């Protein structure tokens, strides 16, 4: 008995601590070697900088977009606060990937497998991250999404198999956190939460307690979304501010919203199987076959989601969804009761296939581009006025100003030209607008002023192009003090 | 069935006085022999000086740098809230561990027979509760345990003629007796229990309240629990719950709270090997060890919580037992507040008693258990005291959104505060839901969503307790039972 316990402790330490730590470190080493400068929390770092400074922009940025979701930012904040910039990124990277490998252990362990199968699955996921050759896969928000999605999917399948209270709780909690990881997985989180009580309706014993599963399964997600909306109302004056970008991103919004529920159809056969097996069972629980079917359907649902997003032109959601789908497949294979060599072979095939799934990117040298743009804009503005102020718009602006020490340029999340003129009376104001491509299209400035990049807006006069950014001057009448000063200078 | 043996004799002048055997017992042994472990002196001189110095420092800081002081205070409170939320997570997660609770099936109990069961002492302290006496006698008689191995003592106060008369008039099994507690200061339940403990004959001992309905196989399960546990396990705590949960909204909230506490949090703490603040009843002890520890602190109004800490300090452990004792939830708001005030005052007493020599406590409990102690005993009280300020601030911010409130939450503090708002409050509500679900009391789950209102009641009682701790530290606000019928 004591021997078994000791053996269990050793395996737990190995699979839940040692291998995740080593694999995360190895991945970190690979990423540093491959991409030179590692930037695993590009957007989060900019937001954290403002949050630590206690600015309104930081608060707005934390909650203001479903595409730059709060969880990765809150995760990165302690690192950004406690560690200097060159260390914060790698430390956050290591911990986020440690979490992924720990989640793999939790997901495989519940099927009653230990050591080899867990380590195999962990290595397979590390291999996928390496073969992807894609910086986005290595971002902390992708890692957090993958980890939470694994917990969500495996808990749901455990709930299907055994009907343990802990499974409904962990799945519901994972769903709620997943919803805070961004819009690309919000639909998945909602469908998983919906499935929790429905999956339990097959057996007469658990069917009677539908309201309990409903409350436990849905409440965390509903609450999280409720608080997110409340904070949007309080900080940005609009409860749905974080979702408004969808109208600009997708031309057919009426078609897009129902399409988000479409992938749920993939889960229906697994659900039917669960009900059938469950209704025949003496005790609640549909068993391992239904659990495996649920996991596989889950992976399929993620792929369908990526296709739905791609149809509507939101292609940047692909990477996280593919990474999640592959991870769920790997966990499904590792959980299956089959000879070890067959599991290994299946995993090798999945990893090999994954090499073709991701768009490959090379070293970008983002930092150099940022410094160049900032330098050029500063030179341009300072040559024209000593009272200049440049507002770099949106999350992209926050990212641009990372590490910026000057006072000329400030970030702005929620553009109100009238308010800027009032707040910065007497100064010469400029707005710096990013190119609305890919993810940048989701910035609030583009759903407020759809043509701003090409045509400017009321009181905005084109000043110049710097890299992919465009600078516009805010036209306003000079104040009496400015007129007096100019007169004095002229005389 | 006979009339009970009553440990008292008639004085020549006609009044009832305790037997010499009872009056020779020192129920205040702990306070007399180990005053440093007793709440007989609620706050020591050194503690008073420390509190005074802290108050002066705080006052100076408020005068010299009010904004910075407020920011620092809020930052510390936010840190506490964050730690507390994560701590709850950890405890609840631990509650699913197989070692969280000792459980025995009916078959396992049946397999024990035939066997010789040890003598089990049962203490039932009562005061002015004649109406619950017959219910208690029936419940104890029906316990599935050999009658000759039950050593039941009803502990009745000398001046409680009503209950004494009712006891005298009632037919009880031979192993039941009544012990009359002499009138003396303080008149508390633990003082009565100490006398009962001295007269206990059993190898094991348990306390039940007057209105308790323990599950029939509880004593056998307790014996088996001690037998399968390590020698350092000297106490097993049964789960408590309420039979009148549906009476009104207070009993519903109370049941939800108890379900979460006894079915999730205490098992979680047991699994983590933490110091456990014992529940007031249905805790089973090894009698000799309890006697060696000098029983309960007669001056502490939550003597159970204090005893849990003392067990930890002495190097012993407590485990949870899967069996339930059904109690009556207080259904009247006034009495609920009085009961909660007493509990919270007791927590404050306990915290001050054991924090007299913090380093010694740290050495005895170890770092991890010291942290548990601070979170469970100090943290619970601290949170009910500071909660109203933060609710008020959140409300002001929600409604008026003044710039002043935002200035009190610098960047990282704002983020941590958002985390607590996002998660902290929710975790506490969700734990109650979970407790109800585990208890299969699904109808209470919807009511649990209104738990924040219950927190307001707790904070009110918390402040009442805090003030009472300094004014009347030993006042025992007794809970009135029998206000609602059995469900």
- Complex ipTM > 0.85: no
Does the CB of B442 have a partner CB in chain A at under 8 Å? Answer: yes
- The per-residue pLDDT for A257 is 87
Does the CB of A223 have a partner CB in chain B at under 8 Å? Answer: yes
Round to whole Å and give the CA distance between B419 and B303.
36
- The per-residue pLDDT for A240 is 93
- Of all residues in chain B, the one with the smallest CA distance to A74 is B415
Q: Given its phi and psi angles, is residue A255 left (phi above 0), alpha (psi -120 to 50 degrees) or beta? A: alpha
Round to whole Å and give the CA distance between A485 and B390.
50
The answer to whether the beta carbons of residues A117 and A334 sit under 8 Å apart is yes
- Of all residues in chain A, the one with the smallest CA distance to B406 is A54
Contact flag B411-A52 (C-beta cutoff 8 Å):
yes
Does the CB of A169 have a partner CB in chain B at under 8 Å? Answer: yes
CA atoms within a 13 Å half-sphere pointing along the CA-CB vector of B242: 29
- The per-residue pLDDT for A249 is 84
Does the CB of A81 have a partner CB in chain B at under 8 Å? Answer: yes
Contact flag B414-A166 (C-beta cutoff 8 Å):
no
Residues A21-76 pLDDT 10s:
999 999 999 888 877 767 777 778 888 888 888 788 888 888 988 988 899 998 99
Q: End-to-end alpha-carbon separation of chain A, Å?
A: 97
Measure Cα distances from B272 to A8, B59, B306, B369, B425 in Å.
17, 40, 19, 9, 23
Round to whole Å and give the CA distance between A208 and A291.
22
Contact flag A216-B422 (C-beta cutoff 8 Å):
no
Residues of B in contact with A78 (CB under 8 A): 412
Identify the band that residue B1 occupies on the pLDDT scale cut at 50, 70 and 90.
low
Domain that holds residue B382: 65-118+203-487
Does the CB of B398 have a partner CB in chain A at under 8 Å? Answer: yes
Contact flag A223-B426 (C-beta cutoff 8 Å):
yes
Residues A210-219 pLDDT 10s:
999 999 999 9
Contact flag A51-B430 (C-beta cutoff 8 Å):
no
- The per-residue pLDDT for B404 is 75
Cβ-nearest to A166 among B96, B422, B430: B96
Nearest to A291 by CA among A306, A305, A278, A304: A278
Cβ-nearest to B437 among A165, A223, A227: A165
Residues B144-165 pLDDT 10s:
999 999 999 999 998 888 999 9
Residues of A in contact with B433 (CB under 8 A): 215-216, 219
Please tell me the total count of domains within chain B.
Answer: 1
- Domains of chain A: which residue ranges? 2-354, 366-490
Residues of A in contact with B263 (CB under 8 A): none
Contact flag B418-A62 (C-beta cutoff 8 Å):
yes
The answer to whether the beta carbons of residues B461 and B334 sit under 8 Å apart is no
- pLDDT, averaged across chain B: 88
- The per-residue pLDDT for B487 is 41
Domain presence at residue B107:
yes
Round to whole Å and give the CA distance between A285 and A200.
8
Identify the band that residue B395 occupies on the pLDDT scale cut at 50, 70 and 90.
confident
| Of A202 and A96, the one with more pLDDT | A96
Does the CB of A227 have a partner CB in chain B at under 8 Å? Answer: yes
């Amino acid at each position: 008995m004591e021997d078994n316990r000791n053996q269990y402790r050793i395996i737990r330490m190995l699979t839940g601590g040692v291998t995740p730590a080593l694999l995360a470190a190895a991945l970190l080493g690979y990423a540093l070697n491959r991409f030179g400068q590692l930037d695993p929390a590009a957007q989060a770092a900019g937001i954290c900088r403002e949050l630590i400074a206690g600015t309104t922009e930081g608060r707005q940025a934390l909650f203001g977009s479903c595409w730059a979701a709060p969880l990765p930012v809150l995760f990165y904040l302690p690192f950004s606060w406690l560690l200097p910039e060159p260390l914060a990124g790698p430390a956050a990277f290591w911990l986020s990937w440690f979490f992924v490998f720990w989640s793999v252990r939790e997901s495989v362990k519940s099927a009653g497998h230990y050591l080899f199968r867990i380590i195999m699955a962990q290595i397979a996921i590390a291999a996928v991250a390496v073969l992807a050759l894609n910086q986005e896969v290595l971002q902390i928000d992708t890692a957090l999404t993958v980890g939470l999605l694994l917990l969500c999917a495996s808990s749901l399948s455990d709930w299907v198999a055994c009907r343990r209270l802990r499974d409904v709780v962990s799945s519901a909690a994972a769903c709620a956190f997943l919803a805070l990881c961004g819009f690309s997985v919000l639909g998945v989180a909602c469908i998983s939460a919906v499935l929790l009580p429905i999956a339990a309706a097959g057996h007469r014993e658990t069917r009677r307690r539908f309201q309990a599963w409903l409350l436990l399964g849905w409440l965390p997600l509903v609450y999280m979304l409720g608080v997110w909306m409340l904070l949007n109302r309080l900080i940005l004056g609009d409860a749905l501010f974080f979702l408004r970008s969808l109208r600009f991103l997708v031309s057919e919004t009426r078609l897009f919203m129902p399409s988000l529920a479409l992938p749920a159809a993939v889960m229906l056969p697994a659900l039917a199987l669960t009900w059938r097996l469950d209704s025949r069972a003496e005790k609640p629980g549909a068993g391992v076959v239904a659990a495996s079917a649920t996991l596989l359907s889950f992976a399929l649902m993620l792929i369908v989601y990526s296709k739905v997003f791609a149809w509507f032109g939101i292609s940047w959601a692909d990477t996280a969804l593919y990474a999640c789908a592959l991870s769920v497949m790997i966990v499904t294979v590792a959980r299956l009761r089959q000879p070890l060599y067959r599991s290994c072979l299946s995993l090798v095939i999945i990893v090999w296939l994954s090499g073709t799934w991701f768009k490959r990117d090379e070293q970008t040298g983002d930092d150099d581009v940022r410094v160049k743009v900032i330098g050029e804009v500063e030179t341009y503005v300072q040559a024209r006025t000593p009272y200049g102020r440049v507002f770099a718009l949106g999350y992209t602006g926050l990212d641009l100003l990372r590490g910026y020490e000057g006072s000329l340029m400030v970030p702005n999340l929620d553009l109100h030209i009238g308010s800027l003129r009032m707040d910065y009376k007497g100064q010469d104001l400029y707005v710096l607008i990013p190119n609305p491509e890919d993810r940048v299209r989701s910035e609030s400035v583009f759903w407020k002023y759809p043509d701003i990049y090409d045509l400017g807006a009321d009181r905005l006069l084109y000043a110049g192009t710097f890299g992919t950014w465009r600078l516009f001057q805010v036209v306003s009448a000079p104040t009496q003090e400015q007129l007096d000063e100019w007169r004095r200078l002229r005389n | 069935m006979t009339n009970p043996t009553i440990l008292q004799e008639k004085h020549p002048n006609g009044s009832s006085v305790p037997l010499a055997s009872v009056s020779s017992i020192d129920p205040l042994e702990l306070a007399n022999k180990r005053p440093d472990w007793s709440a007989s002196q609620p706050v020591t001189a050194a503690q008073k000086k420390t509190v005074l110095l802290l108050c002066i420092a705080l006052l100076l800081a408020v005068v010299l740098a009010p904004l910075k002081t407020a920011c620092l205070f809020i930052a510390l409170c936010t840190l506490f809230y964050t730690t507390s939320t994560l701590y709850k997570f950890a405890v609840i997660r631990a509650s699913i561990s197989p070692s969280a609770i000792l459980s025995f099936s009916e078959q396992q109990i049946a397999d024990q027979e035939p066997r010789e069961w040890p003598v089990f002492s049962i203490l039932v302290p009562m005061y002015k509760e004649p109406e619950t006496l017959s219910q208690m006698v029936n419940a104890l008689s029906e316990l599935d345990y050999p009658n000759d191995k039950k050593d039941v003592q009803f502990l009745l106060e000398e001046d409680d003629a009503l209950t004494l008369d009712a006891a005298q008039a009632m037919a009880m099994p031979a192993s039941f007796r009544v012990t009359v507690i002499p009138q003396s200061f303080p008149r508390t339940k633990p003082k009565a229990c100490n006398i009962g403990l001295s007269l206990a004959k059993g190898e094991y001992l348990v306390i039940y309240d007057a209105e308790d309905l323990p599950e029939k196989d509880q004593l056998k399960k307790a014996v088996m629990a001690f037998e399968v546990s390590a020698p350092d396990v000297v106490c097993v705590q049964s789960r408590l719950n309420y039979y009148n949960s549906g009476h009104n909204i207070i009993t519903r909230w109370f049941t939800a709270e108890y379900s979460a506490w006894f079915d999730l949090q205490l098992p979680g703490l047991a699994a983590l090997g933490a110091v456990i603040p014992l529940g007031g009843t249905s805790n089973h002890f090894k009698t000799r060890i309890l006697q060696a520890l000098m029983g309960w602190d007669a001056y502490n109004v939550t003597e159970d919580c204090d005893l849990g800490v003392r067990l930890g300090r002495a190097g012993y452990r407590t485990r949870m037992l899967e069996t339930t004792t059904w109690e009556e939830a207080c259904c009247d708001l006034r009495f609920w507040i009085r009961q909660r005030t007493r509990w919270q005052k007791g927590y404050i007493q306990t915290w001050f008693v054991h924090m007299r020599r913090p380093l010694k406590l740290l050495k005895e409990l170890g770092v991890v258990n010291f942290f548990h102690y601070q979170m469970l005993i100090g943290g619970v009280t601290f949170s009910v005291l500071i909660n109203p300020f933060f609710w008020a601030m959140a409300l002001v911010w929600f409604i008026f959104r003044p710039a002043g409130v935002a200035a009190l939450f610098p960047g990282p503090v704002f983020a941590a505060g958002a985390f607590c708002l996002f998660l902290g409050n929710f975790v506490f509500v969700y734990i109650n839901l979970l407790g109800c679900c585990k208890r299969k009391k699904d109808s209470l789950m919807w009511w649990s969503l209104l738990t924040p209102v219950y927190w307001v009641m707790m904070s009110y009682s918390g402040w009442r307790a805090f003030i009472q701790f300094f004014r009347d530290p030993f006042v025992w606000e007794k809970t009135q039972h029998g206000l609602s019928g059995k469900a």
